């Protein structure tokens, strides 16, 4: 695999839900930049498969089964962060739908909008712990999960990506590896002291009208 610039050298990165899609892309990018990665998820098989892939490429990673719906497990996963009394960085991957979204996504939008608000709140609470907390509102991205959603709930065929791309300004959907590169930047020292920011990673300008 080979370390690139080493932006995350000697860093330990916990990627919740990191066994596929954007999470897996972040894990791959982080390992390439020198991080040791712990991947969590509800199912062990996908996480172990990703860890094996990263190890075969020369990276260091472990898989940990954890259910984010379990508040105890979620809290325990990050409790070492404050106790160690050292700088750290948290990045929430949210969604551009947090700004409003489609009517049929109401529960999802409510949860993600809450996470956007929590980002600023937590960043303020932990700034003196030197823990930076930021968020990324991700636009339409080609992932395994999106493919399954399009097929199961929208009757999409094999060409749904091409049809979707034709309706987007840049002529294509976003890619997980592009998001992962941006996440690595935000997690690294290259992003400086920025904290409490929620950045729109999207090709549509939200709030603007033609």
Residues noted as catalytic: 108
- Return the number of other C-beta atoms located less than 10 Å from residue 40's C-beta: 22
Give the tokens for residue 160: 């749904």
Q: CA 133, CA 40: separation in Å to the nearest integer?
A: 19
Contact 13, 1 (CB under 8 A): no
Bridge partners, residue 174, by sequence = 141
CA-based nearest residue to 48, from 36, 57, 58, 39 = 39
Contact 72, 57 (CB under 8 A): no
- Return the number of other C-beta atoms located less than 10 Å from residue 64's C-beta: 16
- The sheet carrying 12-16 orders its strands as 12-16, 36-41, 61-65
Contact 3, 29 (CB under 8 A): no
Half-sphere exposure of 81 (CA within 13 A, CB side): 22
């Amino acid at each position: 695999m080979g370390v690139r610039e080493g932006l995350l050298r000697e860093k330990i990165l916990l990627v919740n839900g990191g066994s596929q899609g954007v999470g897996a892309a972040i894990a791959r990018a982080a390992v390439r930049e020198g991080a040791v990665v712990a991947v969590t998820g509800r199912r062990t098989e996908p996480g172990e498969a990703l860890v094996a892939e990263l190890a075969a490429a020369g990276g260091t990673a472990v898989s940990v089964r954890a259910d984010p719906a379990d508040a105890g497990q979620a809290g325990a996963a990050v409790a070492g962060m404050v106790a160690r009394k050292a700088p750290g960085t948290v990045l929430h991957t949210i969604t551009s739908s947090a700004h409003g979204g489609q009517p049929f996504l109401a529960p999802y939008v409510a949860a993600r909008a809450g996470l956007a608000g929590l980002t600023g709140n937590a960043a303020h609470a932990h700034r003196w712990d030197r823990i930076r907390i930021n968020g990324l509102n991700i636009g339409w991205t080609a992932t395994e999960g999106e493919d399954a959603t399009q097929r199961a709930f929208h009757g999409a065929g094999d060409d749904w990506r091409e049809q979707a791309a034709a309706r987007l300004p840049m002529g294509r959907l976003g890619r997980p590896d592009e998001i992962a590169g941006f996440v690595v930047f935000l997690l690294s020292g290259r992003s400086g002291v920025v904290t409490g920011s929620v950045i729109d990673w999207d090709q549509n300008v939200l709030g603007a009208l033609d």
